[in-house]
Structure 1
Amino acid sequence: MQDTTTDFSHVKPGDTPYRGEGLRDFFQYRDLGIAAATHGKVIAHLVRAHSAPEKGTGWHRHEADFQIVIMLKGWAKFMYDDKETLVEAGDCVHQRPGLVHYLFDYSPDMEYLEIVGPADFKSIDAPAPCAVPAPTPWDTPADTQKVDRAA
């Protein structure tokens, strides 16, 4: 039996540019066409650093059934509940539904693949379970500005 609830999708790098319109203004997002192909069941996008971490994401949780982050380049530091976690290139993190977390630091070259279901998941502010370390300053004055990236 053929699945007719999803469509075939093939997105090449030049098909969808990185955009600043997303959950966080200090990141850029590249849509991979999965939300459209799955009719909203799942979203997959690439996320990359756009400017230096000043305050991070803040404590929050997602109303989602499934979420993974696969770090492609660089690194990011998260607080998951009260545990600091370094996520480096090659790492895969499954964020269980409702997990309270905070992305508070990342490298200028940070880029990750995020896959979430459903596509229209909600991000809900959450009370802080603990203090968060300060982000590491980027090395050069230019690094503290927006990262120069071709779309």
Structure 2
Amino acid sequence: MSDSATEFSHVKPGDTAFKSGGLRDFFLYRDLGVAEATHGKVIAHLVKANMAPEKGTGWHRHEADFQIVIMVKGWARFMYEDRETLVEAGDVVHQRPGIRHYLFDYSPDMEYLEIVSPADFKSVDVEPVCAIPDPTPWPEAKAA
């Protein structure tokens, strides 16, 4: 088998845990084994809300050849260039290479599947495109 061949991968829900330390500290990430199986050609991970949106992701773009977001639970509001986009559970978004965007609001139960190529894609801050609406306040946590 050559170094560029891909491997079979099957990850069950209990095989990998959600962890901090990903691109954004207010999200948790669950590796789905695709980056290892494809030798870095593609990454697939689940991303979920960990903290209320205060400042969001900031304006940025990705240095990637391909990226899709599939909203699994909840919702998120993005700015794609100067267009506000509500992405709800079941929606699929193809983020064309280099599109300037800003995830600025999301529900407490937000969870999405992100698939990107290459696996080691870069996130690059960009100048603001337009003003960002305020995020929706999360309900206060009930005392146990």
- 2:71 alignment partner AA: M
Residue number in structure 2 paired with 1:12: 12
Query: TM-score normalised to the size of structure 1?
Result: 0.91
Residue number in structure 1 paired with 2:112: 112
Deviation string for 1:77-131 (max 9, x for gaps)?
0000000000000000000000000000000000000000000000000000100
Residue number in structure 2 paired with 1:60: 60
RMSD: 1.5
- 2:60 alignment partner AA: H
Residue number in structure 1 paired with 2:98: 98
Query: TM-score normalised to the size of structure 2?
Result: 0.95
For 1:99 and 1:59, locate their aligned partners in 2 and report how far apart those are by CA, in whole Å.
10
What displacement does 1:21 show?
A: 1.2
For 1:129 and 1:22, locate their aligned partners in 2 and report how far apart those are by CA, in whole Å.
25
Query: What are structure 1's unaligned runs of at least 5 residues?
Result: 144-151
For 1:18 and 1:139, locate their aligned partners in 2 and report how far apart those are by CA, in whole Å.
23
What displacement does 1:76 show?
A: 0.1
SS at match of 1:35: helix
Q: Percent identity?
A: 77
User: Is 1:47 the counterpart of 2:47 in the alignment?
Assistant: yes
For 1:134 and 1:21, locate their aligned partners in 2 and report how far apart those are by CA, in whole Å.
26
For 1:21 and 1:32, locate their aligned partners in 2 and report how far apart those are by CA, in whole Å.
16
1:63-142 to 2 correspondence within 5 Å? Answer: 63-140=63-140, 142=141
What is the number of residues matched between the two proteins?
141
For 1:129 and 1:111, locate their aligned partners in 2 and report how far apart those are by CA, in whole Å.
26
Deviation string for 1:42-87 (max 9, x for gaps)?
0000000000000000000000000000000000000000000000
For 1:12 and 1:136, locate their aligned partners in 2 and report how far apart those are by CA, in whole Å.
33
- 2:11 alignment partner AA: V
Query: What are structure 2's unaligned runs of at least 5 residues?
Result: none
